[in-house]
Amino acid sequence: MSAATRVAVLGLGAMGLPMAQRLAERGHEVLGFDIAEPRLELARASGIQTFGSARAASAEADAVILAVRDVPQLTEVLFGAGGIAEVLRPGSVVILTSTVGIEPVREVAAQLARLDIELLDAPISGGAARAREGDLLLIVGGSDAAREASTSILAALASTVSVVGPNPGDGQAQKTVNQLLCGVHIAAAAEALTLARSLGLDPAESLRSLEAGAAASFMLSNRGPRILEALEGAEPEVLSRVDIFVKDLGIVTRAAEELGLATPVALAAHGQYVAGVAAGLESHDDSTLVRILPR
């Protein structure tokens, strides 16, 4: 398996597009596809070659980065009508950056292995701004060969590459732990800043105070300003949708249940995101979760 230099990025959404832009700037030939024409236009404006189908974008690629939302999208893009598995070259590598759960990734990896295609399980953490700067955390599970072929790609995208195991699914396992904390921290930040305002405090000053002490967290600092916007009735930019954490905390709680573990805090946070979707916030930024609290 040789080093991958020609990279197809399938899914040019909030994370896929900045990753594609970063790879192009770092000298990779990037081939992009998305179902939304406005995302393709943004990619072309960044000098990325775009295609009318995932299959066309992938046919000559050394590596394919998948930035999909969920398991149905993953299986459809690989094995559905017009799926890319049939056109990928033997010895190529598929890099999955999405959070979709452990068992689906193991199943997909086994199917690809029969075609002599490696799956590198590499879910990401860090957000769109950090993706654009190559400052992501990549949580990697996969073979030595798949990692070595992807070295230049991983180096362009991540400031930290955490290799957690030799098998696809290992990255998903660690990302499941990661998302437990992320989902809980966002929900807790929304509650804390709502409490501050309800106590008559200036929420912006309260946020600055919290960030300076032991209560500080990445999610508090990252989501805090957007939570303040939502508290003031504004519409924050959508950088991570509410329904993403319905999916991710659903993965967390199902994994814990299968293991016989109690995760009551994660379960409570999951309920908040489900309530957010019920309130019509599914496509809004997850900072707008704060809107369900006064109800």
Q: Where are the domains of the chain?
A: 6-167, 173-292
Is domain 173-292 classified as CATH 1.10.1040.10? yes
Q: What is the pLDDT of residue 1?
A: 59
The mean pLDDT values, 10 residues at a time, for the chain of 295 residues are: 80 96 96 97 95 96 96 97 95 97 98 97 93 97 96 97 98 98 98 97 98 97 97 94 97 97 98 97 97 83
User: Active-site residue 247, yes or no?
Assistant: no
CATH code 3.30.460.10 for 6-167: no
Identity of the amino acid at 117: I
Identical fold, 6-167 and 173-292: no
The catalytic residue among 28, 130, 175, 291 is: 175
C-beta of residue 224 within 8 angstroms of C-beta of residue 188: no
pLDDT score recorded for residue 4: 62
- Classify strands 124-125 and 136-141 as parallel, antiparallel or unpaired: antiparallel
Q: What is the pLDDT of residue 133?
A: 96
